[in-house]
Amino acid sequence: MHLTLSDKEIVTKPANLSAPKLWTVLAKCHRAFANMVERNIAELGLCLTDFMVLEALLNKGTLTITEIQTKVLLASGSMTAAIDRVEARGFVVRKLTSQDRRARLLELTPEGRKLIEGAFAEHVRYLEKAMSVLDDKEKKQLYAGLKKLGRAAGGGDNEQTNSGDSPHHGNRR
């Protein structure tokens, strides 16, 4: 990871901070972080969608497929493929639920829990290192500004993530 821009290289003239300029910077930053996150997760032996499924189960506990899909915002076909992959690898099991015979609950296996606990901890360390170019004040300002923009753009609360404010992953939410 190469994040060594000086403050001089980052700062632009305030007069040049139009909405299109901000959008371009935001889009490029998102793309760079999304690519970085996908590479990091691949190095951990998972693809992004599988990681997202396992992370949701780690942070939220046993869930139905529909609940996971809502949390990670994956299309139905992508969700089915991801669940089939993690089940085939022995990381999750499907269980029946007494409330709805059509629904299946997904639960981490001990092997799946061990894998995602280690992968998630490593992923958090990776994200912390990437974000270390910002001091605490800058992180708080960025967080507040992005939340405000997200609410304005989405018309409501921007918490449609797989585990609340957890650091994950990114471009499929």
Please state whether beta strands 63-64 and 104-108 pair in parallel, antiparallel, or not at all (unpaired).
Answer: antiparallel
Q: Which residues does 46 contact at the CB level (< 8 Å), separation at least 6?
A: 54, 119
Q: Are 51 and 31 in contact (CB under 8 A)?
A: no
Assigned domain for 72 exists? yes
Assigned domain for 55 exists? yes
The Cα–Cα gap between 38 and 72 comes to 15
pLDDT tens-place string over residues 17-28 = 899 999 999 999
Assigned domain for 151 exists? no
pLDDT tens-place string over residues 106-156 = 999 999 999 999 999 999 999 999 999 999 999 999 999 999 999 999 865
Place of tokens 């493929």: 81
The Cα–Cα gap between 72 and 54 comes to 10
Q: What percent of the chain has pLDDT over 70?
A: 79
The pTM assigned to this predicted structure is 0.75
Average pLDDT over residues 92-98: 86
pLDDT of residue 166: 44
CATH code where residue 64 lies: 1.10.10.10
Assigned domain for 92 exists? yes
pLDDT of residue 47: 93
- For 84, the domain range is 47-144+161-167
Average pLDDT over residues 65-72: 89
